[in-house]
Chain A
Amino acid sequence: GAGVSQSPSNKVTEKGKDVELRCDPISGHTALYWYRQSLGQGLEFLIYFQGNSAPDKSGLPSDRFSAERTGGSVSTLTIQRTQQEDSAVYLCASSERWRVPGNTIYFGEGSWLTVV
């Protein structure tokens, strides 16, 4: 697609429920990233994918968080048993290749998650 697409753009969920966030990267981009940004805060790295594999999962805050990517394209970030501290904007980004100087990272508009 023309840009990184994320859905839903806004999600309000009850504490304890599971949520699934979707990211559709720019066509042809092999690298995909998930970041979390709490209100007024910086970018917190969660996970990245090179193709379908995720070499680095160290950023995932807890075992309630998981992510997958299939077909080297769409990725889903799943949060189980959501807690109020999970409320944040979840930003997905993609770049053409992995660990190559010069790759620009393109961000989606984000999925705003509110846990009540």
Chain B
Amino acid sequence: AQSVSQHNHHVILSEAASLELGCNYSYGGTVNLFWYVQYPGQHLQLLLKYFSGDPLVKGIKGFEAEFIKSKFSFNLRKPSVQWSDTAEYFCAVWNSGGYQKVTFGTGTKLQVIP
């Protein structure tokens, strides 16, 4: 069974600091990788996704992620965070098994201090 690990459960940053959230997955086959964000009281929104091709993926709101196949990692980065980035971030894996099932990491709560 596939699993997703997010190493940081709670991150506190000051505005303008750089962000990197770690994500590792344990599935050896073809996977689609995602980062979702959940703002307080809101639903899951897609930040970015990787299916194939360029391992450096750019998403919305200045976020990017790098897929490193040899490390089974898909870390999320942002050069300069804003207070409005305060949210919970979920790494997720969708294995190409012919049906819809997303395996999520445990999430990282990001708090940005003005």
- Whether A and B are associated in the same complex: the answer reads no
Residues of B at the A interface (CB closer than 8 Å) are none
On A, residues with C-beta under 8 Å from B are none
